[in-house]
């Protein structure tokens, strides 16, 4: 998608502007944005869906949406219209991704390496090795596109989280999964099965990383 970083920040900023209050987007809402991105829902389509959700709430004299989850049906409706309109034509618009300054990328990787060096886990050692390789590769290249690096970081995070899941105390793991189940319960009723599973897994990854004092690996921080 064009303007990779803007996808997250513009959705968050647009939602906050519509709310008229400086509220924070919740970790679960960030997971939902990730699901929208993975399903290749264009930014403008998401913003259109958010606008419709606020308009519908106003017409029904309901309170303005307090979470992006409330806007999900509107986003999916706008996406279906988009896909129908794009039948027989090429989806999306041509355009190059943003190029992120190399120093920023190296700084992000250095931060992750420093944090991961403090984790005494087999999965941590494997992820650390891959991060160092990624750092050297990024340092040697003139330009790095964020989508490419983000994909690498997402893969490393997924493998690392899976390793943590396999070695975590069973009782603690059950407790984390129970938290995820309880906090995503309302999402399960309204998201397609595949979308919900992506959201649930992404949220569990966040909790597993936090359990070991690690931030998310994403560049979008």
- Does 106 lie in the same domain as 82? no
Parent domain of 198: 102-211
Confidence of residue 58 (pLDDT cuts 50, 70, 90): confident
Residues 40 and 135 in one domain: no
pTM, two decimals, is 0.74
- Residue 168: closest CA among 121, 213, 219: 121
Instruction: Count up the domains in the chain and report the number.
Output: 2
In a domain, 124, yes or no: yes
Q: Which of 78-92, 124-138, 203-217 has the lowest mean pLDDT?
A: 78-92
pLDDT band, very low/low/confident/very high, at 99 (cuts 50, 70, 90): low
**How would you classify residue 94: left for phi > 0, otherwise alpha for psi between -120 and 50, otherwise beta?**
beta
Residue 92 pLDDT more than 60?
Answer: no
pLDDT band at 150 (very low <50, low <70, confident <90, very high): confident
Same structural domain, 118 and 206: yes
* Average confidence score pLDDT of the chain: 86
Q: Three-class SS string for 45-86?
A: HHHHHHHHHHHHHHHCCCCCCCCHHHHHHHHHHHHHHHHHHH
Is 108 in the same domain as 206?
Answer: yes
Same domain for 82 and 145, yes or no, is no
Residue 216 in any domain: the answer is no
**Cα 55 to chain centroid, rounded:** 26
Please check whether residues 107 and 200 belong to one and the same domain: yes
Choose the final residue of a domain: 61, 86, 111.
86
For residues 29-65, one letter each, b for 16 or more C-beta atoms within 10 angstroms of the residue's C-beta and e for the rest, the string is bbbbbbbbbeeebbbebbbbbbebbbeebeeeeeeeb
Arithmetic mean of pLDDT, 120-138: 92
Are 108 and 202 found together in one domain? Answer: yes
Q: Is residue 131 part of a domain?
A: yes
- Residue 135, in any domain of the structure: yes
Same-domain pairing of 12 and 42: yes
- Whether 72 is covered by a domain: the verdict is yes
**Total residue count of the chain as it appears in this document:** 221
């Amino acid at each position: 998608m064009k303007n990779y970083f803007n996808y997250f920040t513009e959705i968050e900023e647009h939602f906050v502007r519509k709310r008229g209050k400086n509220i924070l987007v919740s970790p679960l809402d960030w997971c939902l944005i990730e699901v929208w991105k993975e399903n290749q829902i264009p930014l403008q389509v998401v913003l259109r869906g958010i606008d419709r959700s606020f308009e519908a709430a106003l017409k029904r004299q309901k309170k303005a949406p307090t979470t992006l989850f409330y806007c999900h049906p509107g986003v999916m409706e706008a996406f279906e219209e988009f896909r129908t309109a794009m039948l027989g034509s090429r989806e999306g618009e041509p355009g190059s991704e943003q190029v992120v300054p190399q120093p920023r990328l190296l700084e992000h990787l250095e931060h992750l390496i420093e944090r991961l060096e403090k984790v005494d886990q087999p999965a941590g050692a494997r992820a650390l090795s891959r991060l160092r390789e990624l750092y050297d590769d990024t340092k040697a290249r003139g330009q790095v596109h964020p989508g490419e690096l983000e994909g690498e970081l997402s893969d490393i995070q997924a493998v690392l989280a899976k390793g943590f899941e396999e070695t975590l105390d069973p009782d603690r793991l059950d407790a984390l999964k129970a938290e995820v189940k309880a906090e995503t319960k309302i999402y399960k009723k309204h998201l397609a099965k595949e979308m919900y599973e992506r959201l649930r897994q992404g949220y569990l990854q966040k909790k597993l990383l936090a359990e070991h004092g690690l931030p998310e690996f994403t560049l979008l921080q």
